[in-house]
Amino acid sequence: MISLKGFIKRFLSDPVAIGAGIVLLVLVLMALFAPLIAPQNPYDLMQLDIMDSELPPSWQPGGDERFWLGTDAQGRGVLSTIMYGTGISLLIGIGAVVVQGVLGVSLGLIAGYKGGWVDSFLMRLADIQLSLSTLMMAIIALALFQAAFDANVYADYAIIMLILVIGIAEWPKFARTVRSSVLGEKKKEYVDAARVIGLPARKIMWGHILPNTLTPVLVISTLQVAEAIMIEASLSFLGLGMPVDRPSLGSLIRSGFEFIFSGSWWITFYPAIVLVALILALNLLGDWLRDVLNPKLRRGDD
Amino acid sequence: MAMLEVRDLHVAFPKGKKTEVEALRGVDLTLEKGERLGVVGESGAGKSMLAFAILNLIAEPGRVSRGSVTFHGENLLDLSERDIRGIRGNRISMIFQDPMVTLNPVLTIGTQMMETLRAHRRISDAEARKLCIEGLKQVAIPSAESRMEAYPHELSGGLRQRVVIAIALLTDPELIIADEPTTALDVTIQAEIMALILKLCRENDVALILITHDLGVVAEVTEKLMIMYAGKCVETGPTRQIIDAPTHPYTSGLLKALPQNAGRGTRLYQIPGSMPPITALPTGCAYHPRCERATERCKAEIPQLDGRVACFHPLNTAEEVQ
Amino acid sequence: MTGPIVETKGLEVRFPLPTHFLSREKPMLHALNGVDVAIQPGESFCVVGESGCGKTTLGRAIMGLLEPSAGEIYFKGQRIDGMDETTRKPIRRDMQMVFQNPYASLNPRRNVFETLAEPIRHLMPEKSTSEVRQQVEDVLAATGCDPSWQRRLPHEFSGGQRQRIAIARALVTNPAFIVADEPISALDVSIQAQILNLLTDLQAERGLTYLFITHDLSVVEHFGSRVAVMYLGAMMELAEAETIFETPKHPYTRLLLDAIPKLEGGSFDKPRTPGELPDPVNPPPGCPFAPRCPMAEARCRSERPKLRTLDNGTQAACHFAE
């Protein structure tokens, strides 16, 4: 077990962790305070002017002072849309991981602790789900949803749908990790001690075993946020994600893609940079967390 | 000259960026051909560290910070990795607590034994095979020929440890270092294995360093004894003498704490507290906080080994008896 | 007191071995084969045997951690196996357990107070918060733990201190009967004496009854009032502790006693033949010990000896014991 003090010390002694942490912090703050710091509100149709469309970044010939990173085809400032879009991407990423986590941790805990046919059933279900690609399942689900409802309804519920679809599709990763930790923990004598006093299975699972399996959950959560953001970006890129008027980073990249060859590279380029930075920071932090929290890799200080 | 001489051996581990802590704090020992030495101590006393240091096997980030290990006049700590391999596993063999440290789970017993033999001897396959079967017979493994084809997991714990002993003896070593060889085994199997080690050492005139926490086992098997506490040897001498008349208060306490030395239903003698970790040693004698004979001097000064005991107030000495 | 506090009748435990889910065969491991014990109030009933003999299974079955496949378990005359949780709850207060490994038996994420308060909160819901606190402090004092330990986590303590905390947890509901499963074998020699003394003192103060499970006969000789020797899931010999050490009747008991390393030395001088536990999945038809027994005859291999009472009061399961 690592103390909070030791944890902070480890963090401050690792330049990669600090770098990734700073990038993530900046992006999260930018997304959180987008309504306050963004030069324009890209959702406000009244602020848009078709005359501003496809302006290059401000330092380039033809650039406009108001739009530092240029504008897209609808005349929205790329900087502002990135700020809002990062928020939507993060919201979907975190939301999907919460869904995955709740589903995966509960099912993994039950499978590991109960064993027997419950375990076999849940794990075979997980196998089946993992053998179908997440992207494929999401495409089918979202395509059906898009076909069944009209565009306005779809736009209203797109975030919730994406969170649910990505969340449900990826629960087996959590379930498997938690199950294998539970199998290790439930053999330990503190679980027997709890059973000796007649504690019901529910209390042993949630009160005793779960807190001791959360370390790997924390690690994969970080990595899964990155994964979920990637999936959402891919779906948006395919036109199945966020609608154009509430763009995520993925839909921004898509919306600019058709203008790349006409020279307006900035519409795609800047959101793509932010997306890569976000994913990289999350993955680096996740790897770092795994190294720090895995006692097998850790030597010496405690 | 003695076969093995260890002088003032120190092993240090880094603690933080600049400081180091010592897991061994100056250990001396001398071993003649065919002599059997027991090293006894509680967990963390540094007894396994001693075995690893003798073989120059201290893993990073630890290091031997001072001292020498002379084997037939050669300092093992100065040898190159290539030269020491000619000694380690050949003239000095090792037996560990867990046989699976020595045995590779995916190779048959026969393959592993022949590999060991042919790493150190230039002999033909048929000859090596013959020697290996003889080796297995020597450790009383039933149907030795067919066991050559067995994988380690097909054998019980006791048989596995017998195979490890057979491998250790294959190269006709002059010294065997056995680190808790029977701790993981049942008492009846322990008795079999220890009786076997004792017999083979006697027959082949092999020296033995037996590392254990069990005073009963060393009393049965060894002639010389070394008691370790917090990285130092606190008492050494002939096994019988130490067990019959211990002079260090710690040795005496350990012996008195054994249930077989107490009357039925009485309370056992107990040493208060527990051994300090090497990162938090007290000043002076490391044992003084637990010692009933400790004085102000014990808190200030570290007692040195005077040939038998490292203590300012030993028991059972000539003056004490008078 | 009249009857036994804990009694088992014909207790059997079988474990299905993991197989492929399509395989027809369902091999069973016979962990306990018809065991009858009657533990009298206030005694220290010791169960000894080597690994795989079923001693731990017996303790776990009595505590309800395992469902027996056949047989009955009684606590103070009440049948407790298969009892529903509501009826069993008041009985759980009276039965507690101390485990072998103090590094695994305390939840690493809970501080000492939470660990100790949980049994009271669950089994004695009528207690108020201040009563719970009082009871925890009382039990800490009784087991030699410092009251300041309450807010600390298990990793801050040494093995001996953790075992004290584990004993405190077992005692916090004031039980009458405690199963102690190898409570000292994971500890260092000097700490073993401290824990054994603590158990002896607590028995004297509180009139506890122990079921003490161990592989170490020298501890039994010191600690036990009656001793049951088990082999391959069956009782081999049952006698008063003094009797069993002076006049062991079963050849297996003699083998065990012979295997203890002695401080006087000399018992490992003769080589021993390797002996292994028979396969518990397909136990031999006759006496389970026959394959290792020096006095085994044809009858031993075909007919399983029953536990019978001998003239000196010892019960032994051997055709030739007298």
Please state the domain extents for chain B. Answer: 4-91+176-183+206-321
Closest CA to C212 of C245, C232, C185: C185
Please judge whether A299 and B14 are an interchain contact, meaning their C-beta atoms are less than 8 angstroms apart.
no
At the fourth CATH level, the homologous superfamily of domain A4-41+65-293 is MetI-like (1.10.3720.10)
Instruction: Please give the structure tokens belonging to residue B16.
Output: 């933080």
Tell which CATH classification among 3.30.300.20, 3.40.50.300, 3.40.50.720, 3.30.1360.180 matches the domain B4-91+176-183+206-321.
3.40.50.300
Q: Is B6 on the interface with C (CB under 8 A)?
A: no
Q: How far is residue C289's CA from residue C275's CA, in Å, rounded to a whole number?
A: 10
Closest CA to A244 of A67, A93, A45, A96: A45
Q: Name the DSSP letter for residue C18.
A: P
Per-residue pLDDT of chain B (322 residues; tens, 9 = 90+): 789 999 999 999 888 777 888 899 999 999 999 999 999 998 888 888 999 999 888 888 888 999 999 999 889 988 888 888 888 888 999 998 888 878 888 999 999 999 888 888 888 888 899 999 988 888 888 788 888 888 988 888 888 888 998 998 888 899 999 999 888 788 888 888 899 889 989 998 999 999 999 999 999 999 999 999 999 999 999 999 999 999 999 999 999 888 877 777 678 888 888 888 888 889 999 999 999 899 999 999 999 988 889 999 998 776 555 4
A189, A195, A197: residue with CB nearest C104: A189
* β pairing state of C209-214 and C177-181: parallel
Contact (Cβ atoms closer than 8 angstroms) between residue B12 and residue B49: no
Contact (Cβ atoms closer than 8 angstroms) between residue A252 and residue A85: yes
Please judge whether B61 and A300 are an interchain contact, meaning their C-beta atoms are less than 8 angstroms apart.
yes
Chains with 3 or more CB pairs under 8 A to chain C: A, B
Contact (Cβ atoms closer than 8 angstroms) between residue A29 and residue A84: no
Q: How far is residue C54's CA from residue C71's CA, in Å, rounded to a whole number?
A: 15
Report angle CA B105, B107, B112 to the nearest 5 degrees: 110
Q: Name the DSSP letter for residue B321.
A: H
Q: At a CB cut-off of 8 Å and minimum separation 6, what does B52 contact?
A: B58, B59
| Termini Cα distance of chain B | 37
**What per-residue confidence (pLDDT) applies to A298?**
43
Strand partners of residue C74: C7, C79
**Nearest chain A residue (CA) to C88:** A198
The nearest CA of chain A is from the CA of C115 a distance in Å of 9
Q: Is B187 on the interface with C (CB under 8 A)?
A: yes
Instruction: Please give the structure tokens belonging to residue B299.
Output: 């808190």
Q: Which amino acid is at C25?
A: E
Contact (Cβ atoms closer than 8 angstroms) between residue C138 and residue C154: no
**What per-residue confidence (pLDDT) applies to A1?**
53
Residue numbers of A between 242 and 301 with CB closer than 8 Å to B = 299-301
Q: How far is residue C272's CA from residue C72's CA, in Å, rounded to a whole number?
A: 40
**Which residues of chain C are modeled with pLDDT < 70?**
1-2, 18-25, 274
**What per-residue confidence (pLDDT) applies to C22?**
63
Q: At a CB cut-off of 8 Å and minimum separation 6, what does A22 contact?
A: none
Q: Is C241 on the interface with B (CB under 8 A)?
A: yes
Q: How far is residue C202's CA from residue C167's CA, in Å, rounded to a whole number?
A: 10
Please judge whether C92 and A196 are an interchain contact, meaning their C-beta atoms are less than 8 angstroms apart.
yes
Instruction: Please give the structure tokens belonging to residue C100.
Output: 């072998």
The nearest CA of chain B is from the CA of C137 a distance in Å of 21
**What per-residue confidence (pLDDT) applies to A52?**
67
Q: Name the DSSP letter for residue B182.
A: T
Closest CA to B192 of C270, C117, C184: C270
**Residue to substitute from B188, B201, B239, B244, interface C, most C β-carbons within 10 A:** B188
Instruction: Please give the structure tokens belonging to residue B159.
Output: 């048989």
**Which residues of chain A are modeled with pLDDT < 70?**
1-2, 45, 47-52, 54-55, 58, 62-67, 294-302
**What per-residue confidence (pLDDT) applies to A301?**
36
Chains with 3 or more CB pairs under 8 A to chain B: A, C
What are the chain C neighbours of A198 within 8 Å (beta carbons)?
Answer: 85, 88-89, 92, 122-123
Q: Is B219 on the interface with C (CB under 8 A)?
A: yes
Contact (Cβ atoms closer than 8 angstroms) between residue B290 and residue B273: yes
Q: At a CB cut-off of 8 Å and minimum separation 6, what does C41 contact?
A: C1, C4, C5, C176, C207, C209
Q: Could you tell me how many CB contacts below 8 A there are between chain B and chain C?
A: 142
Q: How far is residue C275's CA from residue B74's CA, in Å, rounded to a whole number?
A: 42
Closest CA to C48 of C208, C244, C209, C243: C244
Contact (Cβ atoms closer than 8 angstroms) between residue C274 and residue B158: yes
Closest CA to C12 of C70, C88, C77, C58: C70
Q: Give the model confidence (pLDDT) of A185-222 as tens digits.
A: 998 999 999 999 989 999 999 999 998 888 888 888 88
Place of tokens 């298990």: C154
Q: How far is residue B211's CA from residue B198's CA, in Å, rounded to a whole number?
A: 14
Closest CA to A197 of C296, C50, C175, C234: C175
Please judge whether B274 and C190 are an interchain contact, meaning their C-beta atoms are less than 8 angstroms apart.
yes
pTM over 0.90: no
Q: Give the model confidence (pLDDT) of C31-59 as tens digits.
A: 888 899 999 999 999 999 988 888 999 99
Residue numbers of C between 60 and 119 with CB closer than 8 Å to A = 60, 63-65, 85, 88-89, 92, 95-97, 99-101, 104-109, 118-119
Question: Could you give the ipTM of this predicted complex?
Answer: 0.87
Contact (Cβ atoms closer than 8 angstroms) between residue A275 and residue A258: no
Please judge whether B61 and A301 are an interchain contact, meaning their C-beta atoms are less than 8 angstroms apart.
no
Q: How far is residue B316's CA from residue C9's CA, in Å, rounded to a whole number?
A: 54
Neighbours of C307 (CB within 10 A): 17
What are the chain A neighbours of C173 within 8 Å (beta carbons)?
Answer: 197
